[in-house]
Each structure stands twice: as C-alpha cells, then as structure tokens.
Chains A and B, each alone.
Chain A
Amino acid sequence: MKVELKVTPDRYLPHRYAGASGDFNPIHIDPEFARQVGLPGNILHGLYTMAQVARANVNAAGGDPRTLKRLSVQFRGMGRPEQEITVTGTVKEERDGRVVVGTEAEQGGKRIIRNAEAELEM
C-alpha cells in the first residue's frame, strides 16, 4: 500500500474551511492581521492539513472511510495557501488485518505534519 496525495489549497481555501469548520481565527483568513502577529501571511488551519492526511490514507486503503480507525498527528511549522502540499506514508506495521501507516505532510521542503500515524482496518 502506498500513500501519496498532492493538493494545492487555493488563495481562498482557508476562508471556505473556516466556514465549513466554524474556526474563524483571523490568523487563517486575514493576511494583514497574520502579519501583525509575526506570521508570513494567513496560514492554513492545521486541522485542514490533518484532513488531507486522513484523505490520503483512506484513498490508499480503497476509499471507504470506515477503514480509518485512528489518526494521530503532530503539527509543526505552518501551512500556507497557494503552495503544494505533499502527503506521503509508508506501512510501519501490519497484523491481523490492521495496518499502521507512518505519514507526513510536506510543503516547500518543510514538514508541516510529522510523526503522523494512521491505523487502518482492511
């Protein structure tokens, strides 16, 4: 099983994700506010990026969301809109139909999610 997903969130993705999730923290949707608090611009929601890690694993397992039993991630750095994110994962452990996939999400050479572990029931 190979986990790989590439996605480029567009400029207004953080706004749509804010509406969908209910998280309107201005660091995600207001570039000016974000710069005032020392960020390079508005940043992606970490839980959006985690959703890409979830999607990459579910897709690799055949697309049924019921296969995903557990997902844990560590957020590092910050994701930005308009830059490609690459999610990759490799099987760490396989036993009794349960697969543990070590996954990470990288953007512009930086790992924005690391040490992610997805547990799938095949």
Chain B
Amino acid sequence: MPVREDAKGKRYAPFEYEVCREKIREYALAVGEDNPIYFDRERARAAGFRDVAAPPMFAVVYSAGSISPAILDPEVGINFAMLVHGAQEFVWGEPVCAGDVITTETSVKDISERGGMGFYVFESLSRNQEGREVVRGTWTNIVRGVS
C-alpha cells in the first residue's frame, strides 16, 4: 500500500490534560525514578518547584491524548501491523508540576517514502496554563513494506 501524503500539514484540535500528583507518582515509580521532588510536595517546593515536579519524560503522558488521534487518523493511513517507533525528540521549556493544565496541539510535520518504508513525522507542542511552552515533541513513526 503506497504512502498517501495528503495529510501533510494537517493540524488536530488541542487536548487539555490536568497534571495530578498521584499520576506523577505512578509514572515516576514505573520508570524507576527515586528523586523525592517527584513524590514529596515539601521537597519539591524546597527545590523551587510550585508542587511535585514531573520527570521530563512525563511529557509522553500529557501528550498522549493529542498525539494518539493523529497517529490513528485514517486520513494519515498508518498500517499498524507494520508500524515501528523510529525516533523521538523532546525539547523542554518551563518545568511541569502537579496542578498544571497542559494543552497540547499536534500536527503532521511530514510524510515521505524511502526504500520501501513510510516515514510519518508528527510534531506536538505543549503549553501550560500560563501559555508558556513546556515541551515540543517530534515523533517519527516508520511503516515497513509500503510499496
């Protein structure tokens, strides 16, 4: 199935995520973090955070509700049986803490085909309740056997 490039440039509706302390704890434990700023409000405040801090890679949690509909979009047309996550980049800005409301917007940055593989690149931009950028994500998905 050849790659369709029509969805290039497509943008999706913003997705809002409210960050909570218990979700940060669950995520931090799953990835093996032990820094008390991810678990204890007082320790986080003493380190200069407003509340319990989120580990940088918690970006995947608050971005998921924005990036998933883009990856699942039939107009993008990804064949899931042949999908692999090829590459990932995050560029961080303002730290994220419990109580923040993060709004993420995703767009299709590029769709291309090389050597029988489809490259689907999505970009997500997340801002906090004050409109400050917290993370910019570039998600590269590779679909094998497209031609």
A residues in contact (CB < 8 Å) with B? 7, 13, 16-17, 19-23, 37, 46-48, 50-52, 54-55, 58, 63-66, 68-75
Q: How many A-B Cβ pairs are below 8 Å?
A: 83
B57 touches A54 (CB 8 A): yes
Instruction: Tell me, in angstroms, the Cα distance from A70 to B57 when the chains sit together.
Output: 11
Known: A70-B91, A72-B87. A54 touches B55 (CB 8 A): yes
Known: A68-B56, A69-B92, A71-B90. A55 touches B33 (CB 8 A): yes
Tell me the count of chain B residues lying within 8 A, CB to CB, of chain A: 30
- The answer, yes or no, to whether B72 is at the interface (CB within 8 Å) is no
A58 touches B56 (CB 8 A): yes
List the B residue with the shortest CB-CB distance to A53: B57
B26 touches A55 (CB 8 A): no
Chain B residues 12 to 37 lying within 8 A of chain A, measured CB to CB, are: 23, 26-27, 29-33, 35, 37
A selection of 24 A-B contacts at a CB cut-off of 8 Å is: A7-B32, A19-B30, A20-B27, A20-B30, A21-B61, A21-B64, A22-B64, A46-B88, A47-B60, A47-B88, A48-B31, A51-B31, A54-B55, A54-B56, A55-B32, A55-B33, A55-B55, A64-B47, A65-B35, A65-B56, A71-B89, A72-B90, A74-B87, A75-B84
